[in-house]
Chains A and B, each alone.
Chain A
C-alpha cells in the first residue's frame, strides 16, 4: 500500500462520498467551463461545434466525455487542454482563467498542469521508451526535482509494466505497449490533469481494458484527474463523472449517480 502525502500547497480532507482522503488546494473544482462556445468557419459558413457549454470537474475525478461522432467531445477536450481556443466563454483550470494567455503562456501552462494521451499514441519515433517518457521533463521546470528523474521514470515504467522494454523504439512495440508508454509520459511531470482522447480506440478490447484498469489504478493512487473523450462503454461505466454531448450541447452531466444541472449544482435534476 502506498501512502501519499499532500503537497505543501495542499491539505488532506476526507471525502465521505468516496470514502477516502483527498488532497485539496482549496479549490474543489479543478476545471470549470463557463458558457463555452466554439465555431468553425468552413468557407463562408460558420458551423457551431460547441453551443454554450458549462460544467465543472472535481479534482481527482475519473471523467468521461461521451457522445456520438461529431458531438463535440474532442473539441471540448481540446479546449480543456488549451490547444484550441473557445470562440467565447471561459475555461478555468486549477483556479486560473486561461482566456487571453499568450501562446508561450499556454504552452508553459500545458507543460506544468496537463498530460496528454492520444488516440494514435503519438510517441516520438526516434526516442526509445525511456527517452519518450523523459521527454516532457526536458522541456522546462516541473514538479519533479532533477535528482529524482531517473527513479521517477523507472517507477512509471514499472507501473505500466514495461521494465524490459526501456531501450526499445516505438516501432518495436505493440499498440498496447505504446499506449502504456504514452500513459507514463503523460504522468511524468506529475500533472494535475491528464487528458485522453479515445485512448483505447486503436486497441483490441482486452488490451483496452488493461489500459483502462491501469489508468484507474493511477487515478486512485496519485489522485490525478483523468478526463476521457471516448465511445468506450467500459470507460463510461467506470467513470466517476460522465458528461454526454450531442450536437455540441450537454445532454447528461452525471457524477456517480447524481445528476448535475448546467449550473453544476449537485442534486438538482438534469434538464431535458
Chain B
C-alpha cells in the first residue's frame, strides 16, 4: 500500500502537464460547486427569512383546492381562475392550533388582488395633472389581516406616516413607493386620510371600494417579496373577494333613494290587484312576526365564522420544531376530518418559493453537464497516460504485479489528484465567496432579488457544501479513471518485452 501511494504521488509530480489539466478541471468544478451552492443557500435563506419574518411565519395553514396547490397568492391552477378556498370549520381549526405544542403565536389572514382606479366622472377630476405609470404599478396584492394579532406576530413593517391598521378600522396601508406612483398617476400628492378607489378581482367578479390611507410603511429588510403588497382591513377584503354571504356595515343612501321607504301608507306599496281574504293566514302567528319585524337591527358585527378566513399563519417557538409541528397539525386535521393542510413557508410563498427550487434544478443540471464534460476530458488524459506507460505497466505485470496492484496504483493517482485539486478548488471557492460578499453588490431587479435572497449579494459557505463539493469532485475523478484503468489491465506482460 505504501509503495502504491509513493508511486502515485511521484507519478502525479512526474507528469506535471497532465496532472495540471486534471487538477485545474477538478479545482474549477469544486469552486463552482462551492460558490453556486452558497448562492442558492443564501437565496433560499433570504427568501425564507423574508417570507417567514414578514408574511408567512413558519407554519402556513390553508384550505385544500382540487384545482392546484394553495399559497398566499391563491390557487396555482392551469387557468389561474380558481377561487382560493376558505378554511372550513374555522373555530375547530383554531382550537387545534392553540392546543398544538411549539406554536409561539398565530394570526389569520386573507389575500386578494385589486387595481387602483380613479373617478373621471367630472371634468375637474379628468383634467388633473396626471402622469403615466406602468400598468403593474397600479396593481395591489392585498393582505387582509387580523389587526388584533397580525402586528404582534410580524414586526418587520415600519410605519413612516400614519399608523398600522387597527381592529375594525377600514383602510389601506401602502408602501412609500406605491404612494409616490399613485400620486403621480392620480395627479395629486397623497397623504394619510386621502382615499383610494380600488377595484377588486375575484371569482365573484369585480368590486369597487373607496378606502382611506391609514398608514405609509416600508419593510425593515428589503428582500425578495411582492412589490405590490398593501395591507387592508379584513372586512373590506372579504367584501371585495366575495368571501362572506353578507356584511354588516353602515351604508349612507341619498334622500331620493330613501323616499320610498318613508311612506306611512304601506298599502300604497302594493298594487290594487292583490287581494287577501280571511282564512288564508291559518297556522301563521302574525303577532310573532310583527314582533320580530319591530326589533331594531341588533345583528352582531361580522365575526370570524365559516368562510371568513383563507389562511392561518403561525410561528414556531424554535426553527427545529417547525417540521414536527407541521406534522402534528396535519395529523390532528386528518383525525378530525377537516380538509385543511399545514405547510412551511415554501408552501405559502408559492411561486416565490418555487423560484429557489427552479434555480437549484437549473444549477444541478448545469453541474451534471459540466461533470460529464470534465469526466470525458479527464478520462482522455488518463488514457494518454496509460498509453505512455504501457511498457512500465507491462514490466510491473511481468515481474509479478497482479491486476489488483495496477488497479490500486491508478486509483491512488486519480483519488489523490482529485482530493488535492478539489480541496484547492473549495478553498478558492471560499475565498471567492468572501470577496463577493465584501463587494456588497446590490440587486437591481426582481430576478437578482430572488437570486441574492435579499437586497445585497450575500452568499454564505457552509461546511456541508464544502464537503459535498470535495466528495463530488473526488467521485468525478474516480469515475474518470475507470475506463483508462480497464485499458491498463488489458496490457499484457509481453508488452514489457517490446522495445519502447
Please report A residues at the B interface, Cβ cutoff 8 Å. 74, 77-78, 81, 83-84, 103-104, 107-108, 110-112, 115-116, 118-120, 122, 124-127, 131, 135-136, 138-140, 185-186, 189, 197
Which residues of B lie under 8 Å from residue A118 when comparing CB positions?
395, 496-497
Q: Does B208 contact A (CB under 8 A)?
A: no
- Are B392 and A122 in contact, CB atoms less than 8 angstroms apart? yes
Q: Contacts A84-B494, A122-B496 known; A139 to B398 CB distance under 8 Å?
A: no
Q: B403 on the interface (CB 8 Å rule)?
A: yes
Whether A74 contacts B400 in the complex (CB less than 8 A), given A120-B391, A124-B392, comes out as: no
Q: Evaluate contact between A111 and B494: CB separation under 8 angstroms.
A: no
How far does the alpha carbon of A185 sit from the alpha carbon of B399 in the complex, in Å? 9
Pairwise interchain contact A110-B497, C-beta atoms closer than 8 A: no
Name the residue of chain B whose CB is nearest to the CB of A111.
B400
A110 lies within 8 A of B494 (CB): no
> If A107-B400, A139-B400 touch, does A126 touch B497 (CB 8 Å cutoff)?
no
Q: Enumerate chain A residues within 8 angstroms of B396, measured Cβ to Cβ.
A: 124
- Taking a contact as CB atoms under 8 Å apart, the answer to whether A127 and B7 are in contact is yes
Q: Is B381 an interface residue (CB 8 A)?
A: no
Chain A residues lying within 8 Å of B405, measured Cβ to Cβ, are 139
How would residues 357 to 399 of chain B score, 1 for a CB under 8 Å from any chain A CB and 0 otherwise? 0000000000000000000000000000000000110111111
> Please, how many angstroms separate the alpha-carbon atoms of A84 and B497 in the complex?
11
In whole angstroms, how far apart are the Cα atoms of A109 and B401 in the complex? 11
Within 8 A of A (CB), among B61-87: none
Which chain B positions have C-beta within 8 A of A110?
Answer: 398-400, 493
Residues B497 and A74 in contact, CB atoms below 8 Å apart: yes
B7, A124: Cβ atoms closer than 8 Å: yes
CB-defined contacts of B499 to chain A, threshold 8 Å? 119-120
Name the contact of A116 in the complex, choosing from B7, B14, B398, B492 (C-beta under 8 A). Answer: B398
B117 contacts the other chain (CB 8 A): no
Bound-complex Cα distance A74 to B494 (A): 10
- Nearest-neighbor residue (CB-CB) of B500 within chain A: A120
Rounded to whole angstroms, the CA-CA distance of A81 and B400 in the bound complex is: 11
Flag if A107 contacts B401 (CB, 8 Å). Answer: yes
Asked whether B10 is an interface residue with its Cβ less than 8 Å from the other chain, the reply is yes
Within 8 Å CB of B494, what residues of A? 78, 83-84
Known contacts: A84-B494, A125-B14, A126-B14. The answer to whether A104 contacts B391 by CB under 8 A is: no
Q: How far is the CB of B50 from chain A (nearest CB, A)?
A: 57
Residue numbers in A under 8 Å from B391 (CB-CB): 120, 122
Report B492 CB to chain A, min CB distance, Å.
7
User: How many whole Å from B393's CB to the nearest CB in chain A?
Assistant: 10
B191 within 8 A of A: no
**Interface set of B (CB-CB < 8 Å, partner A):** 3, 6-7, 10-11, 14, 391-392, 394-403, 405, 492-494, 496-497, 499-500
In the bound complex, what is the Cα–Cα distance between A104 and B407 (angstroms)?
14
List A contacts of B10 (CB < 8 A).
126-127
For the complex formed, measure the closest distance between the CB of A160 and the CB atoms of chain B, giving whole angstroms: 17
With both beta carbons as reference points, the residue of chain A lying nearest to B14 in the complex is identified as A126
| Contact residue among A108, A111, A186, A197 (Cβ-Cβ distance under 8 Å from B497) | A197
Q: Are A116 and B11 in contact (CB under 8 A)?
A: no
In whole angstroms, what is the CA distance A135 to B394 when docked?
14
Given contacts A116-B496, A120-B499, contact A108 B400 (CB under 8 A): yes
Q: How far is the CA of A84 from the CA of B401 in the complex (A)?
A: 16
B402 adjacent to A107 (CB under 8 Å): yes
B7–A122 touching, CB < 8 Å: no
Flag if A107 contacts B497 (CB, 8 Å).
no
CB closest chain-B residue, reference A188: B399
Minimal Cβ-Cβ distance residue in B for A142:
B400
Q: How many angstroms from the CA of A78 to the CA of B495 in the assembled complex? A: 10
- Residues of the A chain whose Cβ atoms lie less than 8 Å from the Cβ of B399: 110-111, 115-116, 135-136, 139, 185-186
- Chain B residues with CB under 8 A of A139: 399-402, 405
Contact A83 B398 (CB under 8 A): yes
Inter-chain contacts of A116 with B (CB < 8 A): 395, 398-399, 496
A125 to B7, CA, bound (A): 10
Cβ-defined partner of B397 (8 Å) among A84, A107, A112, A120: A107
Inside 8 A of B400's CB, which chain A residues have their CB? 107-108, 110-112, 136, 139-140, 189
Quick one: given A83-B496, A122-B496, are A138 and B3 in contact (CB under 8 Å)? Answer: yes
A122 proximity list for chain B (CB < 8 A): 391-392, 394-395, 496
Contacting pair B402 A126 (CB below 8 A): no
B residues less than 8 Å from A108 (CB atoms)? 400, 402
In chain A, what residue has the closest Cβ to B397? A107
Q: Could you pull out 11 A-B pairs where Cβ atoms are within 8 angstroms? A: A74-B497, A81-B398, A81-B493, A83-B497, A107-B397, A118-B395, A118-B497, A120-B391, A124-B7, A126-B11, A127-B6
Bound-complex Cα distance A108 to B14 (A): 30
7 further A-B pairs in the complex, CB-CB below 8 A; given A84-B492, A107-B397: A81-B398, A107-B402, A119-B497, A122-B392, A125-B392, A131-B6, A189-B400
**Nearest CB of B to A128, in Å:** 10
